[in-house]
Amino acid sequence: MTGLRALALATAGLVLAGCATTAADDVDSAWRPGYFWQSVRGHLGMLAAARPVDAVLADPALAPDLRRRLELGREIRDYASRALALPDNASYRRYADLGRPAAVWNVVAAPELSLTLKTWCFPVLGCVGYRGYFDKTEAEQLAGALRERGWEVNVYGVPAYSTLGKLPGDWFADPLLNTFLRHGEVELARLVFHELAHQVAYAADDTPFNESYATAVERLGSRQWLQQRGRADLIAQTERADRRRAEFRAMTMAARERLDALYRSTASDDDKRRRKAELIAALRDEYARWRDGQWGGDRAYDAWFENVSNAKLGVLAAYNQQVPAFEALFEREGRDWPRFHAAVKDLAARPKAERDAVLAALTARAGAALSPSATR
């Protein structure tokens, strides 16, 4: 408990120094005392609510649905270490009901005529293009302050987050949460695999690298999980959902590229605003055609398209742009999980320009392997 006592002492000092600070006061500085205190308080509250999964399952009065989900969560967690070479530690071996629909709420922001996300810098993590709050009201306060300064802002709930395995002792390990345990089997497996991947390799100041790697692990790992369980039904459902997700991403990334070209052009700001509105309207029309046509009326993405913004498009780009490169790296390493993770850790230790060049070459090689000329 030494780590907990040290953290408690640090927290006590921060309470005295910053209890009156609001989210709106911290628009630019991520580590003013008020923000740090809400982070510490929120995380400690989550950990205090957590109990070992085995202890929760030992309760004869446990609701059957929760029992089934916890048993599945335990099985997925064991599989992650046994079959995917992800860390074998205390993470996701306890359970906490937070009594709310999200673990944290992230705030992302971008200028009116740019897709470059605003960044905040943190110790250990480096600089990232979002800021998280355990209280949705505080997240909305920051969002309001940013909008007053002319930023386009998006606030969205996040079911889980990773501490990267940096905090000492089992008590500080990330638990299973009600916010994502209610998801389906595939979504639950993907989330656990994704968050554990963050503990394997993490490059400071490089969100695209970190999130693309973890996304590749969740996709590759969940596919392997389903194949080994013989779940042909879920494999078919997941492949269909993944195809629609890929089509959604292709659609939005193409729109992002058109907007980026517009923002970088020599057009006047007024012309950029007019053309921006036209491009966003065209994107909504394209989505409606896909939804009502090829997707058979599936309205899963309706909420996203209600308010298209630079902030939303910026997040999509950061999370997915290098996934094909990591999937190609997995193939290059013989689909061997320990070798794959070791290769990623090696990349994370290199300068950003160097690892970007390696990943770009992997993407190009994968594309060439799939091209018609390569298969003749």
pLDDT level of residue 16 (50, 70, 90 thresholds):
very low
Q: Which long-range contacts (CB under 8 A, 24 or more apart) does 227-236 make?
A: 228/83, 231/185, 234/185, 234/186
pLDDT level of residue 164 (50, 70, 90 thresholds):
confident
Q: Please tell me the distance from the alpha carbon of residue 220 to that of residue 165, in angstroms, as a whole number.
A: 22
Give the global pTM: 0.81
What pLDDT shows up at residue 23? Answer: 54
What pLDDT shows up at residue 10? Answer: 32
User: pLDDT tens digit string along 246-285?
Assistant: 899 999 999 999 999 999 999 999 999 999 999 999 999 9
Residue 215 forms beta bridges with which residues? none
What pLDDT shows up at residue 144? Answer: 97
User: pLDDT tens digit string along 205-259?
Assistant: 888 899 999 999 999 999 999 999 988 888 888 889 889 998 999 999 999 999 9
Q: Are 109 and 318 in contact (CB under 8 A)?
A: no
Mean pLDDT (whole number) for 50-66: 97
323: its two tokens: 């996934």
User: pLDDT tens digit string along 124-160?
Assistant: 667 788 899 999 999 999 999 999 999 999 999 999 8
What pLDDT shows up at residue 29? Answer: 60
User: pLDDT tens digit string along 323-352?
Assistant: 999 999 999 999 999 999 999 999 999 999
Q: Are 241 and 190 in contact (CB under 8 A)?
A: no
Write the CB contacts of 256 (distance below 8 Å, at least 6 apart in sequence).
115, 313, 316, 317
- The helix (H) or strand (E) run that includes residue 147 is helix 136-148
Q: Please tell me the distance from the alpha carbon of residue 334 to that of residue 285, in angstroms, as a whole number.
A: 43
Query: For 32-126, where are the alpha helices, taking DSSP H only?
Result: 33-48, 53-57, 64-84
What pLDDT shows up at residue 167? Answer: 79
3-class state of residue 270 by DSSP: helix
